Every structure is written in C-alpha cells, then in structure tokens.
Amino acid sequence: MTDFPKTPPRFSATFTPAVNAEIRRAAASGIYDIRGGGTKRHLPHFDDLLFLGASISRYPLEGYREKCSTDVWLGTRFAKKPIHLDIPITIAGMSFGALSGPAKEALGRGASAAGTSTTTGDGGMTEEERGHSKTLVYQYLPSRYGMNPDDLRRCDAIEIVVGQGAKPGGGGMLLGQKISDRVANMRNLPKGIDQRSACRHPDWTGPDDLEIKIHELREITDWEKPIYVKVGGARPYYDTALAVKAGADVVVLDGMQGGTAATQDVFIEHVGMPILACIPQAVKALQDLGMHRKVQLIVSGGIRSGADVAKAMALGADAVAIGTAALIALGDNDPVHEEEYRKLGTTADAYDDWHEGRDPAGITTQDPELYKRFDPILGGRRLKNYLKVMTLEAQTIARACGKNHLHNLEPEDLCSLTIEAAAMAGVPLAGTNWIPGRNGGF
Amino acid sequence: MQTFDLEKEGLRALNSSLHALKGQTNMTRWEVINPKGAHAIAAGVDAEVEITVRGSTGYYCAGMNKQATILIKGSAGPGVAENMMSGKVVIDGDASQYAGATGRGGLLVIKGNASSRCGISMKGIDIVVHGNIGHMSAFMAQSGNLVVLGDAGEALGDSLYEARLFVRGNVRSLGADCIEKEMRPEHFELLERLLKAGEADAKARPEQFRRYGSARKLYNFNIDNASAY
C-alpha cells in the first residue's frame, strides 16, 4: 500500500481548543465560569484610530515651550462645589472588598499626587481611602452597602451607579472567600457568604424616579456635591440623554472593556458595547440637548495610555477613568510573581481569578498574609508615575495637533484604520472622507 | 414650635433650616404645613428634633434620617425613611413602595398599609406596619425586624439574609430561601417590645404572629439550587 501523506490535524474555527476546554470545564463542574476583569476578545478600539498631526493647514505647538493645559472641571451644571482636577484621568470605582485596604490607600495616594480623583465602590467608604484621597467620589449603588449620610457629606462628589461596562444589566458579586470580618461588618452580612448586589436600585426605577432620587441626594447634601450618573455601554445615546434629563452633572460611560471584580465570563464577553462605539453616541446626545461640555462626560473601558486618553477626548469626552490599568500600575499581574501564578494554574498578565482572593500581588485580596506584601506608599508612587506619563503622552499628541488644551482635541484630528472603527467612531477611514453610514455611505 | 409653610417658603429653605440644627438646638419641635406631596421633605436631618408634617408627602420623606422623630399626618410616597440610620418615623396613613428601603436603624411605623417592596434590602431598621404589605417585601433583607399586623403579598422575604419577619395575617407566598421558623421565647419578647414601640400593642399580641426567616440555602452558590432563582 502506497504511503500517501496524511491530512494534517485541523482544528475547527468554531470548536477551538479553548471552546472545547470550556465545554469540558462546564460539564465537569456544573457552574459557569466566574472571573474578574473586562472582555478579553478582540474589539474595535482606540488602536484603530490615528491622529493626523499638524502640517500646512494647521500648525503644531512646540513640545518643550508652549503650554498645553490638562485640567478639567466636573460638576459645573448644578453643584455648588464642582470638582477641579489637574489631569483628566480619574480612578474608576473599585470596592474595598474586591480590593484590599492597602490597595485602596495606594489608589488614593497616587491619584492625589497626580492631581486627580479616586472613587469608592460597592461596600462603602474606608478611612484608608478618604484619608489618602484629596478628591473622593462616593458611589451610590443598588446594594447601598455601607451607605450613610455622613459619608455622603464628606465625599467630594456622588456617583449614582446604574450599570457598568463589564455587565450592563447585571449586579455585583463578591464571593464568600473575600467576605472577611471587616467586609462583612461594613456590608451587614454574615461572614463567608456569597454576597450578591442587586442589579436595580431598591427605591427607584426609570428616568422619572431617577430625577427625584437625584433631587433627594442634592437636598441631603445641600446642593454642594456634583452628582455623576454611571452607565454601562448599552444604549449610550438614550442613557446619556435620560441622565441629563434626570439632572446629572456628569455622565460616566463605561464600555465593555471595563473591568469587574467578579462576574460570569459569558456576561463579560457577550453583553455591552466597546467604548469606541459608545462615545460618539453619548456626545451626540449631549450636543443634541445643547449640553456638551455643560454636563461633563467621563469615559472608561480599556484606557491604557496617553494616546487612548487623547483619542477619547478628541471624540468629545471631558475626562477618562481607569481601573484595570491602575491595578496593573500598582503591581497586579506582574511577572515577578510568575511562580505563584503558575501554582494557581495561570500566568502573569492572564490572572483574572480576583474573586478567589488569592492574588499573589496582594491587591485583589482580603487575606492579611497576602495584602501585607503590598506596599501602599510604593504602589501610590507607581500610580502617580503612570498617571504623569499618560498625561505627558496625551499632551505630546495634543501639541502635535496644534492644541493648547486637551479639550481642544476634536474628531477632525483623527482618522480610522478600519471600516468598523470608522463607522463606530464616526471618523473617516484613513485616506478617504468616508464614514460608513454618513456622507453617501451605506 | 416652629411652623414652616412649605408652599410659601420652599423645600430648600426647609431642609437647609433642618440641617442647620445638627449639634445642639433648642428648636426641638417643628411643624410643616402645606406639604402637598412634595419630595424629599425633611431628608437628611441629623438632630434630636420632632417634625410633624401635616399632610401627605411625596418620595423620600425622612430619607437617611438620623435621630429625628418625624410624624406624617397623612400618607407617604415611595421610599419613605429610605436608608434611615436612627430616630423614628410614624405615618398615620398608608405608605407607597419601598418604605424603609435599606434602612440601617431606627423605627418606621406605618399605621395604614404599605405597598410593594416594604423593607427591601433593610439593614437593621425596625418596621411595624399596622395594615398589610405588598409583594416582594423584605427582598434581600439583611438585618432588622419587619412586623406586619395584616397580610403579606407574594414572594415575602425573597433571597432573605438575617432579617426577622413577623406576620399576623396571611402570607400570599414566600420568596426564594424564605421559610417559616419557630417562635422562641426571645421572639415573643422582641415582638412585645416592637408592638409597644410601634403603637400597636393595643391591636395585637405577640402570640398571634408567625415568624419567617432565611433557610440559608442560597448563602453560597450551589448549582443544585439554581432553579430557586
């Protein structure tokens, strides 16, 4: 018999080894996969946009001589005491519970040193965080864990959380491993149980109620605090318009790349929209209402560099928020812990079992032995450095585009590398004036 | 007695005056007239004062109350005494949805009926309802006590944590993980105290009530319980 060459093994593009592994895991365990972080799939993102830079038609600013400002005011619509930040890169809400006390302290130290704000999360306000954050945004969540009027009055702004990008329409989850005595006490829960946060607020539903809720919070705080409304990237045009109608000072818009402490993988990967697709819709809603720059827009979800900051602002955002990137700056997923990641069955830069509370970096844990490893002073310094670098990068790009303030960046400074990005961002495909769906497109 | 005409002077002036009482004050008795269903009346008070509202209120009356005694001589709109920390709120009439939602302390007394989601996500508050309560009451209730002299609607105590529920009348249905529990001597003592504090001791006796609480089967996720959700 002739020995013909055999057909080489061919993997299915549908049933890939990763898909099959998940089927086997589900079959063996009977439970869906829960993990932290944001979507890991490839999505149209800021990498699909480029800045054009200046040439003959517009002139650049000198990088080492001419000023490019970065400050931002938030809450100028109604609040008696709006917030003024030196840089437009804020720290997104992350809970004590999901993060250790020292990690929250480091976020406060780093943000304050860089001239920006940090944000509480589900579970209430800790002294570590208030004490080390010059500007602290207090989240008002459906669970109301730790919610009290004293903390409302000692925060600098209030963020009503309607949803988040990793799970629009979903509630929170903190598994029993991380419900320590202190976390349990702050949340009025028995120790060691799986804590579920509701997906809807307990005492309001819909935009008309939200308006009344915002009014109540303003009354309780004597109209001093800026009130943000945070939504996940689901229907950004209408959500932004309704938040404005309800009386928000600031809209926070979180794309599906935004992280979570713990949620079902299927939720993270299959619900929501990428931030690139969300920003133009939110900006259009603000413009249609005559409220662009009057109600400020903070966007988040996959912001990693000064280039991402500049692109988000060119599309019309007033500021951005970072969560995952801030944790990485603190030391999360650092290859220095590779040996321990291997023991957990993972590897550096892929570790996402934050809900299990065994983080070798001591950041996403409530285990005293683990969080003792984390130095909040060093962590704060690293975060400050990272925020400064991002700001310098964004300024570099803005000057190259001839802008003396990051807020002067505009969509006309951008082009798209792909048709998808052009359609989502509303920015012409590079080398053309074509925006799919507009100016004669389909 | 300070009398405040809400229609003439406005909500901001009222709440601003009440907030200014924090610390010490000799203006301990207030009367609010012409409330006409306004929202957020006496929200965020933090002082040992007594405020009588002569009429019905809108949303979130007495929201996040600390220390104050607030008497509503009418009915209350949604979210009355939401997230109350301490003090006492007494409603002569009925209360709309979410009465006492997420309350962390103090006593809420509703002399009429309460609508749906009464005591939702309560975290330590005591609530005494002289009439009936609506569906999904005490949903995800974490701690505190809910006493109902009348009937309870569907799905009472769904996904309950450690709050104690006492109902004298019929319960239409129990929510996920909520079960009837034995009345032990300490529960009779507790009820005696709550009925008295809730001005209901002349209407009902502790031995007329049944107790409901968490079966604690959903405290940690188990795939075999998935059908309960």
Q: Which CATH number fits domain A62-330+375-396: 3.20.20.70, 3.40.50.150, 3.40.50.620, 3.40.47.10?
A: 3.20.20.70
ipTM of the complex: 0.96
Picking from B164, B197, B203, B198, the residue whose alpha carbon sits closest to that of residue B182 is B164
Q: Could you say which DSSP state residue A121 is in? A: B
Rounded-to-integer distance, Cα A111 and Cα A136, Å: 10
The partner residue sitting opposite A219, judged by closest CB among B15, B120, B142, is B15
Contacts of B82 in chain A (CB under 8 A): 202-203
CB contact under 8 A, A198 and B64: no
CA neighbor of A90 nearest in space, from A314, A300, A306: A300
pLDDT in tens, B78-120: 999 999 999 999 999 999 999 999 999 999 999 999 999 999 9
Please report, for chain B, the start and end positions of each structural domain, with discontinuous segments joined by +. Answer: 1-96
Across the range A227-250, mean pLDDT stands at 98
Q: Is the pLDDT of residue A442 over 60?
A: no
Percent pLDDT > 70 in chain A is 99
**Chain B interface test: which of A25, A34, A188 (most B C-beta within 10 Å):** A188
**Would you call B60 and A149 a contact, using CB atoms and an 8 Å cutoff?**
no
Torsion of CA A347, A120, B219, B143, to 10 degrees: 170
Q: pLDDT tens, A310-361?
A: 999 999 999 999 999 999 999 999 999 999 999 999 999 999 999 899 999 9
Number of Cα atoms under 13 Å in the Cβ half of residue B48 = 4
pLDDT-derived band at A105, boundaries 50, 70, 90: very high
Substitution target from B11, B14, B19, B66 for chain A, most A beta carbons within 10 A: B19
Q: Give the pairing of strands A250-254 and A227-232.
A: parallel
Strands of A153-206 (E only): list them.
157-161, 172-174, 195-197
β-strand B164-167 against B143-148: which pairing, if any?
parallel
Place A236 in a pLDDT band, splitting at 50, 70 and 90: very high
The answer to whether the CB atoms of A190 and B40 lie below 8 A apart is no
Angle of helix A376-400 versus helix A306-314 axis, rounded to 10: 50
Q: Which residues of A6-29 are buried (b: 16+ CB within 10 A; e: fewer)?
A: eeeeeeeeeeeeeeeeeeeeeeee
User: Which among B12, B46, B223 is the nearest to A149, CB-wise?
Assistant: B46
Residues paired with B179 in a beta bridge: B213
The string of pLDDT tens digits covering residues A386-396 is 999 999 999 99
pTM, rounded to two decimals: 0.96
Q: What percent of chain B has pLDDT over 70?
A: 98
Give the whole-angstrom CA distance, residue A409 versus residue A414.
9
Shortest Cα–Cα distance, A85 to chain B (Å) = 28
Q: d(Cα A92, Cα A108) in Å, to the nearest integer?
A: 11
A197 close to B (CB below 8 A): no
Question: Which of B 65-124 lie inside 8 A of A, CB atoms?
Answer: 66, 78-79, 82-83, 85, 97-98, 101-102, 104, 117, 120-121, 123-124
Taking alpha carbons only, the member of A228, A319, A244, A247 closest to residue A284 is A244
What are the distances in angstroms from CA B168 to CA A254, B8, B132, B207? Answer: 47, 43, 10, 9
Residue A190 contacts B, CB cutoff 8 Å: yes
Q: pLDDT confidence of A441, banded at 50, 70, 90? A: very low
CB contact under 8 Å between B64 and A148, yes or no, is yes
pLDDT tens readout for residues A147-167: 999 999 999 999 999 999 999
Please, what is the average pLDDT of chain A?
Answer: 94
Burial classification of residue B159, based on how many CB atoms lie within 10 Å of its CB (0-12 exposed, 13-18 middle, 19 or more buried): buried
A151 touches chain B (CB under 8 A): no
pLDDT digits (tens, 9 = 90+) for B6-28: 999 999 999 999 999 988 778 89
Distances (CA, A) of A409 to A46, A302, B33: 15, 20, 53
